[in-house]
């Protein structure tokens, strides 16, 4: 009996996905048992005993309780693999600067004592969580986008490698802003080629994104120089030994670029599709369509950018507000850098809309005129 074409097509889709699922599962299992790759001792907590040490009343409100844990763990690597060790750990109930550990946690430790029977917990081993999330992202990308999902993931991996290479070169003495600018060009080329392919749409998007990023960073540089950085608390970067402004401008460059690129891709792809389905659409119609799309995404993109930056400060904001720090002081002293980054990125989004619309409309119309 001949199978229906739909059934054959479904089997062709199921087999690659099943193979991918097996590969991703194997990767996660490998990461869960990769302790032998590390030189730092790793242990798995098998039991935890806990006692209350003291309770201190806060100066404003609330209390802070300190607990002492005595964790029993088994070493997972090194010459003493399989040996049981004792790991004392003190933590505060707020867990602002300390951590509570539980049975099943896998931790990096520093061994003490002559027989390596005791030690100190350094921090949690979290590579398994990252591996599971990355594999889930790849699987969902393939399920939704097919083969292009693999290309998107490959682009993310490539851009991440370039980013860390730029940081490595900065540590060896190269200027960070110059490296960030070069990284942005590489990110643009890799992302757009994998997203759009090598075509006119890709060229329009790349030029729009790079031009908008350059204009945005130039405006930010001028404003910060004119105001002498008033209100921007660079002292919150005191843990760095390098020049604060250079690092901050590198953050602005790479951070705003992501939102700008997304906006340019959306607008250029929309106008390109409009031109594909309505070849007779003129420059005015293309601009009108681009403006409609730009108005729709401007607000959402700006909100996404703001909350993407601000969420990293939630613990500090909550801690400050719980200690009766005024909202103005929170804005000024705790999140001024995040607000500045989100505002610069939002300006980039706003600028990207007219720049992308005009370039896309002009080039698509020029193509029609040339034909």
Taking the alpha carbons of 277, 280, 285, 286 in that order, is the dihedral positive or negative? positive
Per-residue 3-state assignment (H helix, E strand, C coil) for 133-185: HHHHHHHHHHHHHCHHHHHHHHHHHHHHHHHHHHHHHHHCCCCHHHHHHHHHH
Its pTM surpasses 0.85: no
CB distance 231 to 332 below 8 Å: yes
Digit-by-digit pLDDT tens for the chain (371 residues) are: 455 554 555 566 777 788 888 999 999 999 988 988 998 999 999 999 988 888 877 555 567 788 899 999 999 988 888 889 999 999 888 777 788 899 999 999 998 866 778 889 998 998 899 999 999 998 888 888 877 888 888 888 888 898 899 888 988 888 888 888 898 888 888 888 877 777 777 888 888 888 898 888 888 888 877 766 665 665 555 555 556 777 878 888 888 888 888 888 888 888 888 888 777 777 788 888 888 888 888 888 888 888 888 887 787 787 777 777 777 777 777 777 788 888 888 888 899 888 888 888 888 776 554 44
């Amino acid at each position: 009996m001949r199978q229906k074409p739909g059934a054959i097509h479904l089997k062709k889709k199921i087999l690659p996905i099943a193979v991918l699922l097996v590969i991703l599962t194997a990767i996660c299992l490998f990461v869960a048992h990769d302790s032998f790759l590390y030189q730092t001792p790793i242990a798995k907590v098998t039991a935890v005993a806990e006692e209350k040490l003291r309770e201190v009343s806060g100066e404003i409100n609330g209390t802070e309780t300190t607990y002492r844990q005595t964790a029993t763990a088994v070493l997972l690597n090194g010459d003493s693999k399989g040996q049981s060790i004792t790991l004392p750990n003190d933590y505060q109930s707020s867990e602002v600067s300390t951590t509570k550990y539980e049975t099943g946690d896998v931790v990096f430790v520093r061994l003490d004592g002559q027989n390596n029977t005791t030690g100190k917990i350094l921090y949690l081993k979290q590579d398994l969580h990252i591996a599971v999330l990355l594999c889930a992202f790849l699987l969902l990308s393939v399920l939704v986008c097919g083969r292009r999902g693999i290309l998107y993931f490959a682009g993310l991996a490539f851009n991440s490698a370039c980013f860390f290479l730029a940081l490595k070169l900065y540590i060896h003495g190269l200027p960070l802003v110059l490296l960030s600018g070069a990284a942005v060009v590489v990110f643009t080329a890799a992302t757009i080629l994998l997203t759009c392919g090598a075509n006119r749409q890709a060229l329009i998007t790349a030029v729009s994104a790079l031009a908008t990023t350059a204009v945005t960073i130039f405006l930010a540089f001028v404003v910060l120089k004119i105001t002498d950085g008033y209100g921007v608390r660079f002292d919150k970067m005191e843990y760095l030994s390098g020049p604060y402004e250079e690092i901050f401008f590198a953050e602005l460059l790479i951070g705003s670029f992501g939102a700008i690129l997304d906006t340019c891709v959306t607008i250029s792809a929309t106008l390109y599709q409009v031109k594909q389905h309505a070849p007779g659409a003129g420059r005015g119609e293309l601009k009108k369509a681009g403006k409609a799309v730009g108005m729709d995404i401007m607000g959402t993109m700006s909100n996404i950018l703001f909350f993407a930056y601000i969420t990293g400060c939630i613990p500090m904001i909550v801690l400050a507000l719980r200690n009766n720090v005024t909202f103005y002081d929170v804005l000024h002293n705790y999140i001024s850098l995040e607000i500045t980054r989100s505002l610069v990125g939002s300006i980039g989004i706003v600028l990207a809309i007219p720049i992308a619309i005009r370039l896309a409309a002009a080039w698509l119309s020029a193509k029609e005129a040339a034909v």
